[in-house]
């Protein structure tokens, strides 16, 4: 089955859930990743029950928190 | 507004742009932009906005300049080590462009002060140049509740991301990320590192968005998350839809007051 993950073509074997795709794509912190499936946000609660289909476009969106560089914290 | 000869010369390269012109330069000089965080992202954003002639620049930061900041926070110099970042930032901006009035807030943003800071000068646009999720969610929620446009950004290692929120023009940060990750769950620059230029690239994009918003020109990064990977030089746009169930901008918002999330115990 062919799909697009973060803009890259990916080929996977068999049927997989979004949760399994997170594992097979080696996503570091799957519990804090936002998933968009065909441009729709997916609830974390649906990661197990949502199956990936041929041609799906999947985006993993990551928290990115740097940019101020505080030395002291309140 | 009458321009002085010095101003006509100073801003000539952008006044000549048909998207800017005399009218646009007047708008820039009359604009008020709030930058939360005078570090990696905020430094280049503040400097470019000051150079462009933004009339009022608010700078919020409680920190002092540390030697380890100078690899990327280019608004500060070696002689500024130990000085409050807002004092150092204000001096750099004053040297760069005396047309700019800097309003300095030597504090960290919190649920108690952020609305007052935004309302202080009725800022037109806010730049989230912070490095922690409690502040990022706070800026988002305050902007949504006060109907202000803002630019979100984050950088780490060789990567960056940025998006723009404008009222009624697409999703907010919380549509994309529902709530902050627990402290320490996500790597930080202090532990993971960051290439100094990342703040320059992404912070300059934030400044660009602010200027476009002020000018009412071009297409903002609303409804789009721009991600950048410096190692591959890939810029990508991810289309973002508004989330109906968003806690702050959705159909039935549950967040009506600002929230102070737990601050990480260690430095972010
Ligand atoms: Zn939202």
Q: What is the CATH number of the domain that holds A9?
A: 3.10.20.30
Q: Is B264 on the interface with A (CB under 8 A)?
A: yes
| pLDDT tens digits, one per residue of B76-102 | 999 999 999 999 999 999 999 999 999
Domain membership flag for residue A24: yes
Q: What is the mean pLDDT of residues B59-80?
A: 96
Looking at residue B263, its pLDDT comes to 62
* Per-residue pLDDT band at B266 (split at 50, 70, 90): very low
What ipTM does the predicted assembly reach? 0.89
Q: Is B244 exposed, middle or buried (0-12, 13-18, 19+ CB in 10 A)?
A: exposed
pLDDT-wise least confident of A5-9, B142-146, B215-219 = A5-9
- Global pTM value: 0.94
Name the domain count of chain B: 1
pLDDT exceeds cutoff 70 at A21: yes
Looking at residue B264, its pLDDT comes to 42
Which structural domain range is residue B141 located in? Answer: 31-239
Q: How is residue B262 annotated by DSSP?
A: P
pLDDT exceeds cutoff 80 at B63: yes
| pLDDT tens digits, one per residue of B161-198 | 999 999 999 999 999 999 999 887 777 777 789 999 99
Task: Tell me the CA–centroid distance for residue B137 and ligand 1, in Å.
Answer: 11
Which structural domain range is residue A14 located in? Answer: 2-61
Domain membership flag for residue A66: no
Task: Tell me the CA–centroid distance for residue B251 and ligand 1, in Å.
Answer: 9
Annotate chain A with three-state secondary structure.
CEEEECCEEEECCCCCEHHHHHHHCCCCCHHHCEEEECCEEECHHHCCCCECCCCCEEEEECCCCECCCCCCCC
* Per-residue pLDDT band at A38 (split at 50, 70, 90): very high
Domain membership flag for residue B247: no
* Per-residue pLDDT band at A58 (split at 50, 70, 90): very high
Q: Which of B95, B92, B100, B91 is nearest to B7 (CA)?
A: B100
Task: Tell me the CA–centroid distance for residue B201 and ligand 1, in Å.
Answer: 26
pLDDT exceeds cutoff 90 at A73: no
Looking at residue B267, its pLDDT comes to 38
Question: Which chain A residue has the Cα nearest residue B192?
Answer: A66
Domain membership flag for residue B265: no
- Whose structure tokens read 């960056």? B160
Domain membership flag for residue B3: no
| pLDDT tens digits, one per residue of B202-220 | 999 999 999 999 999 999 9
Looking at residue A72, its pLDDT comes to 66
- Whose structure tokens read 């609830």? A43
Chain B residues within an 8 Å CB radius of A7: 236
Q: What is the mean pLDDT of residues B10-34?
A: 98
Looking at residue A6, its pLDDT comes to 93
**Domain CATH for B193:** 3.40.50.720
Domain membership flag for residue A70: no
Domain membership flag for residue B84: yes
Domain membership flag for residue B95: yes
Domain membership flag for residue B122: yes
Chain A residues within an 8 Å CB radius of B260: none
Looking at residue B210, its pLDDT comes to 98
Selected for mutation to probe chain B from A61, A69, A73 (highest B CB count within 10 Å) is: A69
* % of chain B beyond a pLDDT of 90: 91
> Alpha-carbon distance B108 to B214, whole Å?
26
Domain membership flag for residue B67: yes
Task: Tell me the CA–centroid distance for residue B171 and ligand 1, in Å.
Answer: 5
Name the domain count of chain A: 1
pLDDT-wise least confident of A22-26, A54-58, B262-266 = B262-266
A31, A32, A65 ranked by CB distance to B268: nearest: A65
Interacting residues of B219 by C-beta distance below 8 A, sequence separation 6+: none
B63, B153, B192 ranked by CB distance to A71: nearest: B63
CB pairs under 8 A between A and B: 122
Torsion region of B17: left, alpha or beta (phi above 0 gives left; psi -120 to 50 gives alpha): beta
């Amino acid at each position: 089955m062919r799909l697009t993950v973060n803009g890259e073509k990916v080929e996977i074997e068999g049927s997989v859930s979004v949760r399994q795709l997170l594992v097979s794509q080696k996503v570091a912190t799957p519990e804090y990743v936002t998933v968009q499936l065909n441009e729709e946000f997916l609830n974390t609660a649906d990661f197990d029950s949502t199956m990936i289909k041929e041609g799906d476009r999947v985006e993993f969106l990551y928290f990115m928190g740097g940019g101020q560089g505080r030395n002291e914290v309140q | 507004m009458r321009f002085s000869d010095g101003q006509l010369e100073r801003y000539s390269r952008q006044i000549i742009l048909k998207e800017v012109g005399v009218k646009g330069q007047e708008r820039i000089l009359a604009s008020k932009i709030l930058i939360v965080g005078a570090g990696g992202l905020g430094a280049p954003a503040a400097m470019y906005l000051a150079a462009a002639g933004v009339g009022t620049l608010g700078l919020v930061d409680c920190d002092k300049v540390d030697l380890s900041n100078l690899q990327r926070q280019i608004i500060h110099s070696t002689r500024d080590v130990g000085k409050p970042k807002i004092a150092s930032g204000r001096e750099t901006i004053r040297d760069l462009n005396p047309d700019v009035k800097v309003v300095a807030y030597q504090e960290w943003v919190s649920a108690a002060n952020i609305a007052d800071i935004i309302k202080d000068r009725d800022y037109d646009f806010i730049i989230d140049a912070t490095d922690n999720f409690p502040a990022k969610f706070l800026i988002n929620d305050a902007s949504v509740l006060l109907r202000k446009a803002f630019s979100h950004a984050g950088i780490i290692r060789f990567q960056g991301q940025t998006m723009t929120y404008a009222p009624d023009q697409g999703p907010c940060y919380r549509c994309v990320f529902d709530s902050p990750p627990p402290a320490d769950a996500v790597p930080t620059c202090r532990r993971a590192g960051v290439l100094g230029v990342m703040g320059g690239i992404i912070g300059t994009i934030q400044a660009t968005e602010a200027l476009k918003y002020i000018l009412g020109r071009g297409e903002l990064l609303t409804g789009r998350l721009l991600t950048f990977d410096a190692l591959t030089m890939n810029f990508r746009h991810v289309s973002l839809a508004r989330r109906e169930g968003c806690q702050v901008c959705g159909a039935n918002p549950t967040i009506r007051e600002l929230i102070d999330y737990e601050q990480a115990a260690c430095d972010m």
